Amino acid sequence: MTTPFKKIAESLGEVLPVDIAEDVKKNVRAMVQSSLEKMDLVSREELEIQEKVLARTRSQLEELQKRVIELEDALKRSADP
């Protein structure tokens, strides 16, 4: 799969002299890298870790909600004459 950046780089490589094309590629790469860093992106690995943490936390929350309901029901039963 060819990305738009790859197409641009190839086009520039065909039009510009080799030494200028290399400089342009380096500058474009640096600008793209800088822009990506400013976007505060996370890696796929970090995303997957956070998804697992969220799933585990959600499961614990559901269990705690069930337990609260059970305790409330037990409290109501013990308070009823």
- Residue-wise pLDDT tens digits, 2-31: 577 677 777 766 776 767 767 877 888 888
- Residue-wise pLDDT tens digits, 35-80: 877 888 888 999 999 999 999 999 999 999 999 999 999 999 998 7
- pTM score > 0.75 for this model? no
pLDDT band at 81 (very low <50, low <70, confident <90, very high): low
Q: Is there a contact between 5 and 32 (Cβ–Cβ < 8 Å)? A: yes
Unique residue bearing structure tokens 């269990």: 63
With a CB cutoff of 8 Å and minimum separation 6, the contacts of 24 are 12, 16
Per-residue model confidence (pLDDT) at position 61: 98
The DSSP line for the chain is: ---HHHHHHHHHHHHS-HHHHHHHHHHHHHHHHHHHHHTT---HHHHHHHHHHHHHHHHHHHHHHHHHHHHHHHHHHHH--
